[in-house]
Amino acid sequence: QVQLVESGGGLVQAGDSLRLSCVASGRTLSNYTMNWFRQAPGQERERVATISKGSSASTDYADSVKGRFTIARDDAKNTLYLQMNSLKPEDTAVYYCVTTIGKYVVGPWGQGTRVTVSS
């Protein structure tokens, strides 16, 4: 059974940093493209960052977070991270990690971790 558990969210002020973690069980993250998505209140879920599978993983970011967020993976710990710097109120959302294959999301979704950025 695959399980993804996100953590690390919290209430911070604009300009602060947070590091989110996603611990996986039942799935070896390095074998898959992994992503962070987020969903703000009243909005659709959107992709934030992607890291490709394999040892020479490439990364990709939504324009809204480029230069501020960094996605990384620790294969020994089977854990995905999202380092978020220079946080803005518009980054407020529930953040989820999820696997994709091509353009398709492969479940399950975790419970998410809530990030709230005050101005």
Q: Would you say 94 and 44 are in contact if contact means Cβ atoms under 8 Å apart?
A: no
Mean pLDDT of all residues in 72-94: 97
Query: What is the structure's pLDDT at 70?
Result: 98
Mean pLDDT of all residues in 49-78: 95
Q: How confident is the model at residue 34 (pLDDT cuts 50, 70, 90)?
A: very high
pLDDT at 82 over 90: yes
The beta strands (E) that lie in 14-103 are given as: 18-25, 33-39, 46-51, 59-61, 69-74, 79-84, 93-101
Query: What is the structure's pLDDT at 20?
Result: 98
Query: What is the structure's pLDDT at 57?
Result: 87
pLDDT at 79 over 90: yes
Q: How confident is the model at residue 89 (pLDDT cuts 50, 70, 90)?
A: very high
Give the pair of three-digit tokens for residue 88. Answer: 């803005």
Q: How confident is the model at residue 11 (pLDDT cuts 50, 70, 90)?
A: very high
Query: What is the structure's pLDDT at 85?
Result: 98
